[in-house]
Structure 1
Amino acid sequence: MSLSTAEKKRLRQIGHHLNPLVQLGGNGLTDAVLAEIDARLEDHELIKVRVGGEDREERQATIEAIAEGTGAEIAQRIGKLVLLYRAARRPDPKLSNLLRALA
């Protein structure tokens, strides 16, 4: 699934005011962190993740690994922040950032 330019633009508008739900620290991308990101995506559909580290290529590789490991699409990347989108199997109107933005 690849997002169109219009879809990415809409997701960036919704995600602009979101705070990062998950932050990767010194241990990098572990199975536990990947499971947490997966769970937050299922709850919220659109989330921000802060990827630590000073090496740009390493951050890029980590972001790609997160997207591949969770089946999420990268809607936006700015520095150490990444905006991820994955449609929930059963969206919860109280948690889904997309459904709340439409209300």
Structure 2
Amino acid sequence: MKLRGKQKRFLRARANHLQPLFAVGKEGLTDNWLAQLDGALDRRELIKVNILQNSTVTTAEVKDFIEERTDIQVVQTIGRVLVLFKVSANKDLRDLSKQVAAI
């Protein structure tokens, strides 16, 4: 699902109260980390990822790594925090994506 402007605004508003669920640290980006991220997004559909100060990767590198290897969309970048969205593979857990599609 390609997100339009209004849909991104809706998701940013929903993500405002969320705390970062994942962090990128000094070990950087791995396929195992990406698999865990993908699994969490299947359950929640919208999460935040924090890039720690001791990390050797930049925000742009994390964004490119995620978007190149998965169908996860980066909704917003705020400093060292990324807001990520993915439609859940489980049809029972698609509450947020149904609201986004209706916009």
Shorter-normalised TM range = 0.7 to 0.9
Shift of 1:58: 2.8
- The residue number in structure 1 matching 2:62 is 62
CA contact (8 A) 1:43 1:92 kept: no
For normalisation by structure 2, the TM-score amounts to 0.80
CA contact (8 A) 1:15 1:47 kept: yes
- 1:1-103 equivalences under 5 Å are 1-53=1-53, 58-93=58-93, 98=96
Other structure's SS at 2:58 match: helix
1:54-101 deviations in whole A, cap 9, x for unaligned?
79x8321122211222311111110110001010021455xx6827x9
CA contact (8 A) 1:50 1:82 kept: yes
Distance in structure 1 (CA, Å) of the matches to 2:21 and 2:64: 18
Shift of 1:49: 0.6
Corresponding letter in the other structure for 1:50 = N
| Aligned-residue CA RMSD (Å) | 2.3
Distance in structure 2 (CA, Å) of the matches to 1:2 and 1:53: 31
CA contact (8 A) 1:23 1:52 kept: yes
Identity %: 33
**Segments of 4+ moved more than 3 angstroms:** none
The structure-2 alpha-carbon separation of the partners of 1:69 and 1:52, relative to structure 1 and needing over 3 Å to count, comes to farther
Corresponding letter in the other structure for 1:8 = K
Give the length in aligned residue pairs: 97
Distance in structure 1 (CA, Å) of the matches to 2:64 and 2:32: 17
